[in-house]
Structure 1
Amino acid sequence: MDKTLEEILHSLTKSFINSGLKIIIALLILLIGFKIARFITKKIINSQGFKKLDSSVYSFLNALILVMLYTIVIVTAALIAGVPATSFIAILGTAGVALGLALQGAFSNLAGGIMLLIFRPFNVGDYIEADGLSGSVKAISIFYTVLVTPDNKHVTIPNGNLMNSSITNYSAEPTRRLDIVFSVAYDSDIEKVKSIILETVNSHEAALKDPAPAARISNHTQNSLEFTLRVWCRREDFWALKFDLLENTKKAFDQNGIVIPYQQIDVHLDK
């Protein structure tokens, strides 16, 4: 009886010592592994290629690499501590699926943010139109992009939505072409109308001379002739030039007797 009890105690002691050693080794692996993970991450992030990245991408990749290395260290320590590999993998798999379903939208925005920061369809300060909204880009983060509208509202757009929509960047090029349509009466002198439009645009300092402005008849409507003016300008002068030309051309038409017709309907009465 005493011998059997002694064997049981010996077995328990041996098992406890083995388990204790495994736990101690696992803790040491965690301690040393985390330090090594931080060291490796720092070395990778501080390399020449990573330093050229945008600050937002840089910070995100720093966190991503560190989390991946930490995960490897934790899994290794857990296996050494005696956690069954199959159980551990099953737990991680279940947790991953649950987390993926719960954060599906967040992951979509995250992926969109990474794509935006890498491919750069626009930069901070650019005026863009996307997802049915337009404004100047105030900030680009991993999950959201913030626009400031012309009336000074802040609009936050999820990056997933942005990457799934067409993006128009009005600030991508240093110059823009302005198209304005003018309507005049059918009995107007065509050459005179063209001359007035071109004189007005050429007298404006914001209108570029190369390419030269052009004014031609673009349409015959029920009530008027439509002339389209095409003129190039610097992108920062676009709106000021448009408003000035609309005002100045109207004044020039009035001074030269060019009529801008109202919509009208001819009614014929049978006797």
Structure 2
Amino acid sequence: MDWIEILVPIVKSIALAILTFIVGMIIIKSLMKFLGKQITVSKIDNSLKPFLLSLIGAVLKILLVLLIISILGFDITSFAAILAAAGFAIGLAFQGSLANFAGGILLLSLRPFKVGDYIEGNGYSGTVKAIQILYTELLTPDNKVIYIPNGELSNTGIVNYSVNSTRRVDFTFGVGYETDNNHVLNTLKDVVNNHPKVIKNPEPFVRLSAHGDSVVEYTVRVWANSEDYWDVHYDILEEVKTRFDQENISIPYPQMDIHLTK
């Protein structure tokens, strides 16, 4: 009969552990569903929402496992020590991944950019598609997806082109020395002042900026809304070429060194 006295508590502990696991998973699932709805409608940045849900779910499951271990009669303190030792060994093996994880936390906390921003960082540029825990996804203008490790991205300079609502568009045009200076200035001013997407305040800047070896250089700087940047850039380049042709303003060809061999 001794074996029955030994077996009954063990069976009770196992049954209670199983019941706790089932009930706990149901509670966690219901709680995560509720929290998911609350976080979705909250003002938290969209980049941070998936990470928060994953983190909360992981913490709740770890607590449930520790509770089950306690019900089974194991020493949680010893188990925690084993987990710590295992975590240290895993950390040494996955230093790069941990650096990326820490970088992801840093990016999500400081938020130098968010989903939808056009950025440049670590030698790449594109629109932020997603900020994952280990990698940030960029979508390039030619529809390529670039995965940048968060550890590297968080330790490099980041240029965010989408933070401000306006951007300055800069141009330099070279004109032949024989062309009248006022004629060139008036033509360039006419082009930029008549473009519908060029912002009038600040006022467009059009000045002669340098005397080159074979051309006189004119600098043009205009402001536009960030979403209109490339439209203004290409429109003005095309319109200036058209107007220069109409006004007989010469654009010298680049001089090339030609070496003749006998």
Task: Indicate the TM-score class for this superposition, using the shorter chain for normalisation.
Answer: 0.7 to 0.9
Query: In structure 1, which of residues 253, 257, 270 is the aligned counterpart of residue 244 of structure 2?
Result: 253
Query: In structure 1, which of residues 203, 206, 210 is the aligned counterpart of residue 201 of structure 2?
Result: 210
Higher alpha-carbon deviation: 70-79 or 208-217: 70-79
- 1:39: how far off? 5.8
Task: Give the direction of change, closer, same or farther, for the CA distance of 1:239–1:66 in structure 2 (3 Å limit).
Answer: closer
Aligned equivalents of 2:168 and 2:190: distance in 1?
Answer: 18
The aligned counterpart of 1:125 is 116
Contact 1:178 1:230 in 2 (8 A): yes
Higher alpha-carbon deviation: 234-243 or 43-52: 43-52
* 1:195-234 alignment, distance < 5 Å: 195-234=186-225
Aligned equivalents of 1:49 and 1:118: distance in 2?
Answer: 18
Query: In structure 2, which of residues 132, 135, 148 is the aligned counterpart of residue 144 of structure 1?
Result: 135
SS at match of 1:253: helix
SS at match of 2:170: strand
Map Cα deviations across residues 21-78 of structure 1 (whole Å, 9 max, x no partner). 4444444544454455556656666668983324553333233223223222322332
TM-score of the aligned structures, taking structure 1 as reference length: 0.75
- 1:261: how far off? 3.4
Task: Give the direction of change, closer, same or farther, for the CA distance of 1:170–1:24 in structure 2 (3 Å limit).
Answer: same
The aligned counterpart of 1:158 is 149
- Report the RMSD for the aligned CA atoms in angstroms: 3.4
Aligned equivalents of 1:185 and 1:48: distance in 2?
Answer: 62
Aligned equivalents of 2:84 and 2:41: distance in 1?
Answer: 31
- 1:146: how far off? 2.9
Query: In structure 2, which of residues 57, 61, 64 is the aligned counterpart of residue 66 of structure 1?
Result: 57
Contact 2:47 2:130 in 1 (8 A): no
Q: Would you say how many aligned residue pairs link Structure 1 and Structure 2? A: 257
Aligned sequence identity (%): 43
List runs of 5+ in structure 1 lacking aligned partners: 1-8, 266-271
Aligned equivalents of 1:74 and 1:125: distance in 2?
Answer: 38
Task: Give the direction of change, closer, same or farther, for the CA distance of 1:30–1:192 in structure 2 (3 Å limit).
Answer: same
- 1:215: how far off? 0.8
* 1:183-202 alignment, distance < 5 Å: 183-202=174-193
Contact 1:51 1:58 in 2 (8 A): no
The aligned counterpart of 1:6 is none
- 1:229: how far off? 0.3
List runs of 5+ in structure 2 lacking aligned partners: 257-262
Query: In structure 2, which of residues 60, 70, 85 is the aligned counterpart of residue 79 of structure 1?
Result: 70
Contact 2:172 2:217 in 1 (8 A): yes
Contact 1:50 1:58 in 2 (8 A): no
Higher alpha-carbon deviation: 199-208 or 119-128: 119-128
Contact 1:44 1:50 in 2 (8 A): no
- 1:201: how far off? 1.5
Aligned equivalents of 2:174 and 2:36: distance in 1?
Answer: 61
Task: Give the direction of change, closer, same or farther, for the CA distance of 1:36–1:59 in structure 2 (3 Å limit).
Answer: same
User: Which structure: larger Rg?
Assistant: 1
